[in-house]
A and B are shown apart, each in its own frame.
Chain A
Amino acid sequence: MSTTTDTAPITIHIPTPLRAYTDEQATATVEAATVGAALRALVDHYPELDANLYTDDGTLRSFVNIYRGDEDIRHLDGPDTALEAGDELSIVPSIAGG
């Protein structure tokens, strides 16, 4: 039976410009049970990502979308979305302007 303390190896895909902050790695592997924990582990390992992904009050920036596989986590359980070993997360920006 699963518990909230279980963690699983998760692959996170990094957008091109953010690889400047991940030692040029296109993917990162973290151990986490939820999407929120996975992102926090990523930022803990690569602190320069923090200001690019989060606002000063710790919420994801409005243009940052997180996908688990092909699903936007907003349509799942948001940051509480559960993860299983082998899941892949993508950081996907929304682009807009005037």
Chain B
Amino acid sequence: MITTPDILDAIRDHGEDSYPEEGCGFLLGTVRDGVNHVRAIRRVANRQATNRTRRYALTPDDYRAAQQAATEQGLDIVGFYHSHPDHPARPSETDLVEATFPGYTYAIVAVHDGSATDLTAWTLAPDRSRFEQEAICTETTITA
């Protein structure tokens, strides 16, 4: 994914604000040459009914609202982010079981004792067997 330092900070902030529960939301942006350019995030409440320290969920209505917001900004949904409270910034078994479509960026921020540490990005392999790590490239200004 390609994004800005401010957006990475916004993901970290949401992870810290949600601690000790998982925080989650959408990555909005554009796709160019197969690379997700993240231009904005959309915070959403963790809809998981129980065990929010270890699980997160976003509903279809959340997705549709995010799609509408993205469209109004000339953007698309290009991925999702969530935090791992006191857990490494790597996809869990649950993340793989629940994974949606290859091509979305799944950003994960680790939050230890309330402070964000590692921030990583992943995409589902085309055969759905595993997550592959994506490089995170930052630009101070993204040109259109």
Contacts and interface: CB of A to CB of B under 8 A. Distances in A.
Interface residues of A, dominant DSSP: mixed
Nearest to A13: B67
Interface residues of A, number: 20
A15 B101 contact: yes
A95 B64 contact: no
Contacts, number: 75
B143 to A, nearest CB: 21
Contacts of A52: 101-102
Given A15-B101, A16-B31, A97 B94 contact: yes
B63 A92 contact: yes
A65 B101 contact: no
Contact of B78 (A16, A90, A92, A94): A16
Contacts of B78: 16-17
A16 B29 CA distance: 10
